[in-house]
A and B are shown apart, each in its own frame.
Chain A
Amino acid sequence: MAEEGDLLVVLLDLALLSEEGVGAGGQAVAPADVLAQLLAFANAYTMLSSHNRLAVYAGSHDMCQLVHLGLGEGSSGSVFPAASLHAKLGELVRKAEGGHEPGANGTAPHPAGGGRVQPFALSGALSRALCLIHRLQQQAAARGRVRCCPRLLVLQGSRDGSAQYIPVMNSIFSAQRAQVVIDAVVLAPEDSSFLQQAANLTGGLYFRPPRGPGGLLGLLLAHFVTDTATRAQMDAEQSLGVDFRASCFCHKYVIETGFVCSVCLSIFCQPCRACTTCGTAFGAGGGPHRGGAGAAGHGAAHATEDGAG
Chain B
Amino acid sequence: MAHETQLITKRAWQGPGGPEGYLTVTNASLRWQPAHTGPELCIPLASISNQQRAKDKPLVRIALGPAPAAPGGPPPGPTHHVFAFESVADRDAALDVLTKVIAALSAGSGGAAPGGAPGKGAAPEGPAVAGGFTRQQRQAMLARDPDLRALWEDLVGGGAVSEGDFWSGVAARLAAAQPSAWGTAGGGGGPGAPRRRLGLSNILQRVEAEVDGRHQRVLRVSLSPEQVAQIFAEQPAVLRAYREHVPHRMAEEDFWRRYVRHEMHKESKRKARAEGLGPAAAAAAVVDDAGGDIFREAAAAVAAEAAARPGAAAAAREAVDPSLDLGASEGERYTGHGTAHAATREPELDSERLAAAPGGAHGPHEDPDDLAAALNRHGEVVLQGVEALARVEAQLRAAAAGGKAPPHPHGHHQGGHGGAAEGAEGAPGGRRRRRHSSGLEDLHAPPAPALEALRIADPRRYFERSGGAGAGAEHADAMDLGLGMGLGLGPGGGLAGALSCVDPGRLPLPPVAPAEAQAALLEATPLARVQAEDEAAGPGGAPVPRASAGAPRDPASSLPRETMAALRRTALAVNEACRHFWRCVPPNTAARRDKASRLVRLLEAKRSEVEALNDRARGVEGRFIRQLLKPPMDMLLTALVRWDEELQKHPHPPHGKG
Binding site for B on A (CB under 8 A): 2-3, 14-15, 17-22, 30-37, 39-40, 43, 60-71, 73-77, 80, 82-93, 95-97, 99-100, 102-111, 117-118, 124, 127-128, 131-132, 135, 139, 143, 158, 207, 209-211, 214-219, 222-223, 232-237
In the complex, B446 has a CB within 8 A of chain A:
yes
Residues of chain A within 8 A of B493, CB atoms compared: 18-20, 109-110
Residues of chain A within 8 A of B487, CB atoms compared: 63, 92, 95-96, 99-100
Identify 11 residue pairs between A and B in the complex whose beta-carbon atoms are under 8 Å apart, listed by A's number.
A31-B498, A37-B512, A40-B511, A65-B481, A71-B451, A74-B447, A89-B499, A93-B499, A103-B488, A107-B488, A236-B524
A37 touches B511 (CB 8 A): yes
B473 touches A63 (CB 8 A): no
Compute how far the CA of A3 lies from the CA of B524 in the bound complex, rounded to whole angstroms.
31
A222 touches B486 (CB 8 A): no
Binding site for A on B (CB under 8 A): 192, 445-449, 451, 453-454, 456, 472-474, 476, 479, 481-482, 485-499, 501-502, 504-505, 507-508, 511-513, 516-521, 523-529, 623, 627, 630-631, 634
Residues of chain B within 8 A of A217, CB atoms compared: 511-512, 517, 520
Nearest CB of B to A117, in Å: 6
B504 touches A60 (CB 8 A): no
Q: Of B445, B476, B516, which one neighbours A215 at CB under 8 angstroms?
A: B516
Residues of chain A within 8 A of B519, CB atoms compared: 211, 214-215, 218
A14 touches B495 (CB 8 A): yes
B504 touches A214 (CB 8 A): no
Q: Of B446, B448, B489, B516, which one neighbours A60 at CB under 8 angstroms?
A: B489
Chain A residue nearest to B627 in the complex (CB): A235
B498 touches A219 (CB 8 A): no
Q: Of A20, A30, A69, A88, which one neighbours B491 at CB under 8 angstroms?
A: A20
Nearest CB of B to A232, in Å: 8
Chain A residue nearest to B503 in the complex (CB): A86
Compute how far the CA of A19 lies from the CA of B508 in the bound complex, rounded to whole angstroms.
20
B523 touches A96 (CB 8 A): no
A70 touches B474 (CB 8 A): yes
Compute how far the CA of A33 lies from the CA of B511 in the bound complex, rounded to whole angstroms.
8
Q: Of B448, B521, B634, which one neighbours A75 at CB under 8 angstroms?
A: B448
Residues of chain A within 8 A of B623, CB atoms compared: 235
- Given A68-B476, A86-B504, A218-B517, A74 contacting B491 (CB threshold 8 A): no
B520 touches A69 (CB 8 A): no
Nearest CB of A to B528, in Å: 8
Compute how far the CA of A34 lies from the CA of B487 in the bound complex, rounded to whole angstroms.
22
Chain B residue nearest to A3 in the complex (CB): B192
B507 touches A39 (CB 8 A): yes
- Given A99-B482, A218-B521, A36 contacting B507 (CB threshold 8 A): yes
B524 touches A207 (CB 8 A): yes
Compute how far the CA of A62 lies from the CA of B487 in the bound complex, rounded to whole angstroms.
7
Compute how far the CA of A127 lies from the CA of B454 in the bound complex, rounded to whole angstroms.
12
Compute how far the CA of A132 lies from the CA of B508 in the bound complex, rounded to whole angstroms.
32
Chain A residue nearest to B472 in the complex (CB): A76
Residues of chain B within 8 A of A34, CB atoms compared: 498
